Amino acid sequence: MKKILSVLYIATLLFASCSDEYDDSALTGRVDNLENRVAKLEELCKQMNTNISSLQTIVTALQKNDYVTNVTPIMQNGKEVGYTITFSKSNPITIYHGKDGQNGTDGEDGKPGVDGEDGKNGHTPVIGVKQDTDGSYYWTLDGDWLTDDSGNKIKAEGTDGKDGTDGSNGEDGNDGQDGKPGMDGKDGI
């Protein structure tokens, strides 16, 4: 009898928990919003990686005395979003414009008060490259050499890696078996 009551009790709980009243539309909307935001971030990262790669190509072109032969606007939905730059020797590169942010809502009007002191001027760092006496180009920040923790200048162009050591010779394989003789006059048929 206890088993039957236990089964009925569990069945009642399961039946009561199965309801169409649960509304997960708020969660679905939030997930959709997150997916859209992630997609926009992925596109932004893709464009930033393209811009960084393009900057590397410009440094390489500078190092090899290459020059620009053409600049073509990139259009997307009737709007210019960047440029394709073609060089005489190097592969073409693509550089994208930055994105405009959305306007924020207007704040409340301030109350009259005493004027404060002017703030300090802001500073926008300028990242560039400069050729050193060794003929190589190095990264600069505001015109000064960009250095690593040891004080070494950071090259703007990678160097070829060193050749690795030769591997050891492999062992000889086993001899194969001799083939079967063919029938006279019918070889190759």
Q: Tens digits of per-residue pLDDT, 103-141?
A: 777 778 878 878 778 888 888 888 888 889 998 888 898
Strands 79-87 and 93-96: antiparallel
- Name the pTM for this structure: 0.40
Per residue in 63-109, pLDDT (tens digit) is 888 888 999 999 989 988 889 999 888 889 888 887 666 777 777 88
E strand map for 19-177:
68-76, 79-87, 93-96, 127-131, 137-141, 144-145
What is the per-residue pLDDT for 18?
65
